[in-house]
Amino acid sequence: MSEEYAIDLIETWRKLDGRKLDEFRKIEIEPNIIKNAEGSAHVKLGGTEVIAGVKLVLGEPFADTPNEGVLIVNAEFTPLASPDFESGPPGENAVELARIVDRGIRESKCIKLEELCIEPEKKVWCVFIDIHIINHQGNLIDAAALASVVALMNAKIPKLDGEKIIREEFERQLPVQYKPVTVTVCKVKDKFLIDPTLEDESVIQAKLSVAVRDDGKVCAMQKQGKEELNVEDLEKMIDIAIEKSEEIRKLIR
C-alpha cells in the first residue's frame, strides 16, 4: 500500500474516532483486580485490554547477582483475544513484547531487586509478571507495559514462615522506586502518531517503543516494523515519546 493512502486512511479513522494523531485512546486503569495475585492491574486502552498479574515465588538468585531478587516477564497472547492468536507456546511477537516490557522495568531499576534477597546466593524472591492479553485492538506494548508497572506498584511481599509462604498475609509493599512508562511512536509517510489501533497497525510499517523513567531518562527502546527510518526520525520519535509519557504518568501517580 502506498504511504499516501495509508496516512489518508489513518487520518480518516482518527477523524471518525474524534482523536488526533498524538492523542491516546481512553485509558482506564483498575489496580488490584486479581485476589490471588500479589499485585495486578487491568488496563484498557480504547478497545485493547490487558491484565498483568504479579506473583512472588521463592527461588535461587542468578549466579552473577547473588544478592538480588529475580525478575521474569512472560506474555500470553491468549486465543480468546484475537482470531489471529493461536494456542501453544508463546510465538515470536509474544516473546518480543515480553522482552520489551522486561527491559523497560529492568533497565529503569523500577524494582529495588537488592531488597528482595533473603539469603545471599541461596534464597531470593522471584517476581513473575504474567501479561495476559484479553482483547487485541492494537498497541499491545504500551498497554502491557502500563499494566505491568501498575501491578508492581500495588504488589505486596507475602509473609514467610521459615520456608513456607503465607499467601494471605503480607510483610510489606514490593519496593518500587521508578515507574517506567512505555510509549510507542509510529511513523507513516512524514507523520508521527501514537497509540495505533489494530486498523492503524495494519498499515503502519515503522514503530519505535520507548520506555521513559520518572526523571525523563530513556531506559529502553526497540524499533519495530518492516520499514527503515532516518536518524532524524528516531530523534523526533524519542522526543514525542518522552513528552507523551508524562500524560500516562499522571494517571499512575
Residue number, 16 or 63, with CB nearest to another protein = 63
Q: Which of 25, 42, 44, 103 binds another protein (CB under 8 A)?
A: 103
Cβ contact 103:211 at 8 Å: yes
Residue number, 79 or 216, with CB nearest to another protein = 216
Give the integer Cα–Cα distance in Å for 68 and 227. 39
Q: Would you count residue 17 as binding another protein (CB under 8 A)?
A: no
Q: Which of 1, 2, 92, 168 binds another protein (CB under 8 A)?
A: 92
Q: Would you count residue 95 as binding another protein (CB under 8 A)?
A: yes
CB of 164 to another protein, least distance (A): 30
Amino acid at 184: T
Sites for another protein among residues 106-165 (CB under 8 A): 106-108
Cβ contact 109:211 at 8 Å: no
Give the integer Cα–Cα distance in Å for 237 and 240. 5
Sites for another protein among residues 227-246 (CB under 8 A): 227-231, 233-235, 238-239, 242
Beta-carbon count within 10 A of 78 CB: 16
Amino acid at 93: N
Distances (CA, A) of 207 to 114, 183, 233: 34, 10, 10
Residue number, 146 or 211, with CB nearest to another protein = 211
| DSSP per position, 182-220 | EEEEEEETTEEEES--HHHHHH--EEEEEEE-TTS-EEE
Q: Would you count residue 70 as binding another protein (CB under 8 A)?
A: no
Q: Would you count residue 78 as binding another protein (CB under 8 A)?
A: no
Cβ contact 237:185 at 8 Å: yes
CA dihedral 253, 173, 148, 245 (to 10 degrees): 20
Q: Would you count residue 98 as binding another protein (CB under 8 A)?
A: yes
Sites for another protein among residues 176-215 (CB under 8 A): 208, 213
Q: Would you count residue 223 as binding another protein (CB under 8 A)?
A: yes
Contact pattern from residue 25 through residue 54 relative to another protein, giving x for each residue in contact according to CB under 8 A and a dash for the rest: ------------------------------
Q: Which of 13, 176, 225, 251 binds another protein (CB under 8 A)?
A: 225
